[in-house]
Amino acid sequence: MLSLGIRHGFGIFLRPMTLDLQWPRSTFAFAIALQNLVWGFSQPFVGMIADRYGAGRVLAVGGLLYAAGLALMAQATTSLELALSTGVLIGLGLSGTYTIVFGVVSRAVMPEKRSTALGLLSGLASFGQFAMLPYGQALISNIGWWWALMILAINACFILPLAIPLAADRANGAGTANLQQSVASALAEARAHRGFWLVTLGFFVCGFQVVFIATHLPAYLLDKGMSVDVGMVALALIGLANIPGSFLAGYLGGRYPKKVLLTAIYLARAVIIVVFLMAPVTEWSVYLFAVALGLVWLGTVPLTSGIVAQIFGVQYLSMLFGIVYLGHQIGAFLGGWLGGYVFDTTGSYSLVWIIAALLSVLAALVNLLADDREVDRLSVSPVPA
């Protein structure tokens, strides 16, 4: 909740920071884009460490880096300082917090309950987005963005004691005593699997859409004459609606083909974006858009991670899902950066909205074509639950 909640609140800092520090929006957008790229490229390696040595230590180090990045973000006065703090440090912190927990939960539950558990986890994480956005906006409005970032850095430190119970993950399957497959073999198996790469391509689109909207929606609405609170409430509503949306996606993923559900989610996103662009921009149209989008916001996470577990098992899930998440974060980099670049170049976000809708159709198609059957190794000798 803390990791995802703080991360999805960066959009409300875009306008006050760029105005006070006289930066173009592309400077802030690039730092957020770099954050997602660093998060993505470090995720497979961090996941490998968590799979091998346990998630507790990884989560504690991630929390420290997260807090340090937020504190240094408040001190940034140049684009380089913002890139190093917001981009590099927070990106590394995120790779050791949010996604790591999915591997822990996958190993802790029986296969038939895994999808529901991951959906519940994703939904509860989204409560952080719902709770932290009004909290962050209240801090900015009352004490300014600098103090708001410093307080959020203190809040990120709360991740450290929460990492203690996850130390037991190593004994539940992440240790080295009973390994049935080597890291090299797991990587080779994934590299040769066509469905793995199609799912990764679909997740690329998810990253593009989520980070573009989370970063630029508040500024987009301000440009349309809405108040600062409308953007904050919209992002909070997305997080709130995602709680039942993610849980429902996970629940249905345990009963119906996950790739078909992913196809439906991406098609729904395309329709929601197109309708939002065609409708007049009012407070109610924004809130309806937020609720509709929230229902399909992060339901992709339990379904996508569930497909990876379904195909390859859970022994190296954090590492393999980390590779899929790299695809997500490359899309996130492009969504965050392109939004700022296109706005500074054209004075409008329209082109990026259209790209986001078209990519949704592509993601629906590649997920539908993905082979999600378990590999022969599991059908011959399943990994014990």
Neighbours of 177 (CB within 10 A): 6
Kindly give the interhelix angle for 228-253 and 300-312, rounded to the nearest 10 degrees: 30
For the record, the structure tokens of 344 come out as 């500074």
Instruction: Give the mean model confidence (pLDDT) for residues 252-278.
Output: 93
Q: What is the DSSP letter of 374?
A: P
Q: Residues 81-88: contacts with CB within 8 Å, 24+ apart? A: 82/23, 82/27, 82/28, 82/31, 83/30, 83/31, 83/34, 85/31, 86/10, 86/31, 86/32, 86/34, 86/35, 87/30, 87/31, 87/32, 87/33, 87/34, 87/35, 87/37, 87/38, 88/34, 88/35, 88/38
The pLDDT, as a whole number, for residue 155 is: 95
The pLDDT, as a whole number, for residue 178 is: 42
Please determine, for residue 382, whether its predicted confidence score (pLDDT) is greater than 80: no
**pTM for this structure?**
0.79
Q: How confident is the model at residue 115 (pLDDT cuts 50, 70, 90)?
A: confident
What is the tens place of the pLDDT at every residue in 289-310? 999 999 998 889 889 988 998 8
What is the tens place of the pLDDT at every residue in 314-323? 778 878 888 8
- Mean pLDDT, the chain, as a whole number? 87
- How far apart CA 251 and CA 242 sit, in angstroms, is 14
What is the tens place of the pLDDT at every residue in 4-38? 889 888 888 988 999 999 998 888 888 988 898 89
How far is residue 366 from each of residues 60, 209, 245, 308, 370, measured CA to CA in Å?
36, 16, 22, 15, 6
Q: What percent of the chain clears pLDDT 90, i.e. is strictly above it?
A: 41
Answer whether 205's CB lies under 8 Å from 363's CB: yes
Report which of residues 279 and 47 the model is more confident about.
279
Which domains, from first to last, does the chain contain? 2-165+183-373 (1.20.1250.20)
For the record, the structure tokens of 77 come out as 């006065």
Question: How many helices (H) and strands (E) are present in the chain, helices listed first?
Answer: 18, 0
Neighbours of 13 (CB within 10 A): 23
Answer whether 32's CB lies under 8 Å from 215's CB: yes
What is the tens place of the pLDDT at every residue in 196-208? 999 999 999 999 9
The pLDDT, as a whole number, for residue 157 is: 95
Report which of residues 358 and 1 the model is more confident about.
358
Q: How confident is the model at residue 69 (pLDDT cuts 50, 70, 90)?
A: very high
The pLDDT, as a whole number, for residue 70 is: 96
The pLDDT, as a whole number, for residue 177 is: 41
Residue 126 neighbours by CB under 8 Å, 6+ apart: 4, 239, 240, 242, 243, 246, 294, 297, 298
What is the tens place of the pLDDT at every residue in 206-262? 999 998 998 889 888 988 888 878 888 898 899 889 889 988 988 898 888 999 999
What is the tens place of the pLDDT at every residue in 134-191? 899 899 999 999 999 999 999 999 999 988 887 766 544 433 344 467 788 888 888 8
- How far apart CA 126 and CA 191 sit, in angstroms, is 31
The pLDDT, as a whole number, for residue 110 is: 84
Answer whether 198's CB lies under 8 Å from 304's CB: no
Burial group, residue 125, by CB count within 10 angstroms (0-12, 13-18, 19+): buried
